[in-house]
Amino acid sequence: MELPRSVTIREGDLRVLNPIDEAKLATLGRAVKLAPGAELLDLCSGKGELLCTWARDHGITGTGVDISTVFTAAARGRATELGVADRVRFVHGDAAAYVPARPVDVACCVGATWIGGGVPGTLELLDRALRPGGMALVGEPYWRRDPPDEETVVGSHARSRDEFRDLPGLVRLFGECGWDLVEMVLADQDSWDRYAAAHWLNLRRWLDANPDDELAPELRRELTEDPLRYVRFQREHLGWGVFALLRR
């Protein structure tokens, strides 16, 4: 059970593995009014930046679950670095199958709704972990502009036009699933740029250091093609945000 090696190479030394920067992650923590001692569950927790910084800044506790041993090790190191290793823990495993020992105050899946087959299924996974009145946090792409053709859909890393909704459609979907949207923090083009472009530098540095690796041709092709694809399609058409939801 592990992510492909190309993913960990691409993410490199990034701490936030989504197109919101550390400032927006901090804004989100303040916006949802975290109470000291609140318990969080973060499914697909990546390198643990959400849990670790929120434990430091808001006094929360929590558990992160991720399929990547590399990311889980980085998350544990970050917890130690920030002095919160006694308040957060990180588990290597299948986030979709994880059920906490007791209900939590906040359950998150930020940027990985594939674990539930999309937003509705992921909300069901989060709901089963929440105490009554608990909050779900979901990170999800949406169309900023309607893609005019299939080339734009593929260039935005979508499997189909219907994989994502526009922002009103996504908000409508939350309501159809029985949740109230109570807060949101959206990526902007600058935070998208910082995330996407960091991948290119990580790929180039790795290629320079590993020219004979079996992954080198694949990652060389990605570095050649992805910057143009990003500025032509994804940057203009795809948005991303984290949405705070409460059960109706």
Mean per-residue pLDDT over the chain, rounded: 97
Q: In the predicted model, what is the mean pLDDT of residues 172-188?
A: 98
What's the per-residue H, E or C state across the chain? Answer: CCCCHHHHHHHCCCCCCCCCCHHHHHHHHHHCCCCCCCEEEEECCCCCHHHHHHHHHHCCEEEEEECCHHHHHHHHHHHHHCCCCCCEEEEECCHHHCCCCCCEEEEEEECCHHHHCCHHHHHHHHHCCEEEEEEEEEEEEEECCCCCCHHHHHHCCCCCHHHCCEHHHHHHHHHHCCEEEEEEEECCHHHHHHHHHHHHHHHHHHHHHCCCCCCHHHHHHHHHHHHHHHHHHHHHHEEEEEEEEEEC
The number of distinct structural domains making up the chain is 1
Q: In the predicted model, what is the mean pLDDT of residues 148-154?
A: 95
Encode pLDDT of 208-240 as tens digits. 999 999 999 999 999 999 999 999 999 999 999
Q: pTM surpassing 0.75?
A: yes
Encode pLDDT of 113-125 as tens digits. 999 999 999 999 9
Q: Is the pLDDT of residue 1 over 90?
A: no
Under the banding of pLDDT at 50, 70 and 90, the label for residue 2 is confident
Q: For residue 113, tell me if it sits in a domain.
A: yes
Encode pLDDT of 38-81 as tens digits. 999 999 999 999 999 999 999 999 999 999 999 999 999 999 99
Is residue 36 within 8 A of residue 60, CB to CB? The reply is: yes
Q: For residue 59, tell me if it sits in a domain.
A: yes
Q: For residue 175, tell me if it sits in a domain.
A: yes
Predicted confidence at residue 203, as pLDDT, reads 98
Domain that holds residue 60: 5-144+163-195+239-247
Q: For residue 156, tell me if it sits in a domain.
A: no
Share of the chain above pLDDT 90, in %: 99
Predicted confidence at residue 117, as pLDDT, reads 95
Predicted confidence at residue 169, as pLDDT, reads 98
CATH of the domain at 85: 3.40.50.150
Q: In the predicted model, what is the mean pLDDT of residues 89-100?
A: 96
Under the banding of pLDDT at 50, 70 and 90, the label for residue 167 is very high
